[in-house]
Amino acid sequence: MNLQIITTPQIHLVQIPDSHNLNRQLLNRFKVLQGQQETQRSHFFQGRFENIYIERQHIPEILSLITTVENIAKIILKSNAPLRCGYWFNWMQPGHSTSLHTHEENDELLSAVYYVTAPDQSGDLLIGNDPYTLRYRPVPGMLALFSPQLPHAVAVNASDQERLSIAFNIGLAS
């Protein structure tokens, strides 16, 4: 895989090539599964569940993305150790945002977010604390990886469309 990883002191950005078909498949499958009874949801804020969990066996389209995320993580971590990669979907409606938080609750080595859909003005990824907050405008097919200890948030979705992203926590396989 020939990927260009853009690295800054805070974040690693990768545009996944040929992501259009993958994103269409992920979005279609998500729309079918997100409301089903066996789909788990957590973090109910502002009238929506922030985290939507769909098991891998129900969304096989995600397997190639997980492999890509793990391979990029190995490059960033400079390690070939086996990794585990947990994930969840974030379906953000117009007017919604995600508050400042970290992912320090387990032994994660990296956190990441992949954008399936990202209409203009649908909420920048905010990294850091004021007055040193960095803003990254999401685009479909973009993968952003960063330290789980780094505070991050998502700005208000000021578009008139929903945005779909997939968050990842990456750690060593046990």
Question: What's the average model confidence in pLDDT over 5-32?
Answer: 90
Distance separating alpha carbons of residues 144 and 55, to the nearest angstrom: 22
Distance CA 19, CA 34 (A): 21
**Looking at residue 58, what DSSP letter applies?**
G
Tell me the per-residue pLDDT of 53-71, one tens digit each, with 9 for 90 and over. Answer: 688 888 899 999 999 999 9
Sign of the Cα torsion 78, 80, 81, 84 reads positive
Q: Provide the whole-model pTM.
A: 0.90
Per-residue pLDDT reduced to its tens digit, 90-111: 988 899 888 888 887 778 899 9
Distance from chain centroid for Cα 84: 15
Task: For residue 120, give both structure tokens.
Answer: 């203009």
% of the chain beyond a pLDDT of 70: 88
Q: What is the mean pLDDT of the chain?
A: 87
Q: Which of 103, 106, 116, 115 is nearest to 147 (CA)?
A: 103
**H helix count then E strand count, the chain:** 2, 12
pLDDT tens string 122-131: 999 999 877 7
| pLDDT above 60 for 45 | no
User: Per-domain residue ranges for the chain?
Assistant: 5-34+41-165
ω before 131 within 30° of 0 (cis)? yes
79 vs 99: CA distance, rounded Å: 32
Mean pLDDT of 150-157: 92
**Using 50, 70 and 90 to split pLDDT, how confident is the model at 48?**
low
Phi and psi angles of residue 19, each rounded to the nearest 5 degrees, phi first = -85, -10
Q: Give the residue-averaged pLDDT of 160-164.
A: 95
5-34+41-165 in CATH: which number?
A: 2.60.120.620
The pLDDT of residue 40: 57
